Amino acid sequence: MRTENTNQHGVILGRQVCKTTPCRVVKFVLAALLIMAILLTGGLFIFHAFGDIADCHQREHRAIELTGIITQLDEVLTSSAYLAAATGDSKWEGRYRKYAPQLDAAIKEAVSLIDAPSGKYAGYTDLANMKLVAMENKAFEFVRQGNHQAALELLESSEYEEQKFNYASGMYYFAEIVQEHIKEDLFTAQYMAWGITVFVVTIAAITMSAYFSKIQLYKRSIERNRLAAIVDSSDDAIVGSSPEGIITSWNKGSEKIYGYREYEIIGESLSILVPSEQQDDLIYLFEKISQGEHIRHFETVHIGKDNNLIDVSLAISPVNEVDGKISGVSLIARDITKHKESEKTKERLAAILEATPDFVGYADANDRHIMYINKAGRKMCGIGEDEDVTKFRIDDVHPERTNKMFSEEVLPLAIRNGVWMGECALLNVKDRHEIPVLMVLAAHKSAEGQVEIFSTISRSVTEPKKMKELESAGKATG
């Protein structure tokens, strides 16, 4: 109805103007109609083009995200199966059962998102995964039967390694085709947009500016998500080597800890990771491994690509063939540098506390049992250096008048204000003599506001008081 009215209006206008310039009006109307048709057609093409791009990016972005998820979950399942076979602990099977459905769901979603060529490789990965799951389930069955050796042999078999290779190859080609697919879609969309600019120059400039801005945003977003997807979740370095110590496998955790990329390190000797002064440790460990021993929690120092020293805790195991012959070595290294630094900080703090001439101690706020007294404090209170201080309570190392003062004044004020300062006295538990001190007592509270610990630093004022007494006596006799 609206179109009919417009057409009628156009005819009337044409009749009015055509009386003077019919050709110009006809050309104007035709040009306007043509421009409108071009704009409408171009707008529809642009609308559909950008809609296709957005849909493509959503699907391909999700596919790349799924690639990372599948890789991560596969490593979780593989490590769970291997650890179950190595330790016999049932918790690893529980971990496996928890994440296996997530991996299946991720693979199925990947197959549904990608078109025929990419879907082929996703399906190829799914097939390899099903075979791996079957072998891993068989390994768990061996573990439940107590046959750990059979489980390890199955997980280290050539068939298992072949399926792992097929799985990894499928994921690699899957990711490659996804990237090619994005490039093809972008090229098609760009070609369409440039074609429209031939007919709509003014609109093309605005449209293409917005278009390229969106494309750049999409490219940056895809790149960020692609990098995030391939980041390995494991913080431990898992390294495989030959019996002679030549590196044969290198995971992402290894890259994080040592700095070497896989292509840089494969084929190198493990000695590249060991400082010259620690080489004897490596020889010692491989001697143990050659005898079939398993090394657990061996702490040593390794060196990274940038010559940075790394404190590590090692777990090393031989990889045996069916006949018992050692065919390789599995090494797991955990970076404990921060833990070591924390220990050193604690040791320095403890040394400072032990060296101070003041009484330093703390006690449980609930039952007032003493938890720590430093060397100077033990000497003041007559407690031996090797004597257990936890058998004493706060009341035991203060005279009765001080304990009364504690109950009525000191502790209530410390709890209310967080700290109390003043003069009081300590008590020597052996000869029962009092030591006047200037005390700072602090109340330490939990996040919920409950007092958990009382700590104190107390300085003896015995000598200053004696000096004052001598001075007073000297003035009196003078």
pLDDT tens track for 396-447? 999 999 999 999 999 999 999 999 999 999 999 999 999 999 999 999 999 8
CATH number at residue 466: 3.30.450.20
Q: Do 248 and 165 share a structural domain?
A: no
Are both 173 and 281 inside the same structural domain?
no
Nearest to 457 by CA among 432, 430, 417, 426: 426
Residue position matching structure tokens 């059979």: 150
Domain end: 183, 209, 229, which one?
A: 229
What total number of domains does the chain contain? 3
How many residues in total does the chain contain?
478
219 lies in some domain = yes
Question: 171 and 99 in one domain?
Answer: yes
Residues 241 and 325 placed together within one structural domain of the fold: yes
308 and 388 housed in the same domain: no
Q: Could you tell me where the DSSP H helices lie in 88-157?
A: 91-113, 116-144, 148-155
152 lies in some domain: yes
Look at residue 326 and tell me if it is in a domain: yes
Which residues span the domain enclosing 450?
A: 356-474
Both 396 and 446 in one domain: the answer is yes
Pair 452, 314 in one domain: no
- Whether residues 69 and 215 share a domain: the answer is yes
pLDDT digits (tens, 9 = 90+) for 34-81: 556 656 776 676 667 666 666 766 777 777 787 788 778 878 888 888
Q: Which of 197, 229, 261 is the last residue of a domain?
A: 229
Q: CA 206, CA 223: separation in Å to the nearest integer?
A: 26
- Nearest CA to 212 out of 196, 199, 194, 227 is that of 194
195/242 same-domain check:
no
Q: If pLDDT is split at 50, 70 and 90, which confidence band does 311 have?
A: very high
> What are the tens digits of pLDDT across the range 346-390?
888 888 888 889 999 999 999 999 999 999 999 999 999 889 999
Which one-letter amino acid corresponds to residue 466? K
Answer whether residue 342 is part of any domain: no
Cα separation, 194 vs 189, in Å, equals 9
Q: 12 in a domain, yes or no?
A: no
Do residue 373 and residue 294 come from a single domain?
Answer: no
Buried b (16+ CB within 10 A) or exposed e, 440-456: bbbbeeeeeeeeeebbb
Point out the domain boundary residue: 337, 364, 381: 337
Is residue 19 situated within a structural domain?
no
Nearest to 155 by CA among 394, 353, 316, 319: 319
Query: pTM here?
Result: 0.37
Residue 345: inside a domain: no
> Are 274 and 203 members of one domain?
no
Question: Are 264 and 330 contained in the same domain?
Answer: yes
Residue 195 in domain: yes
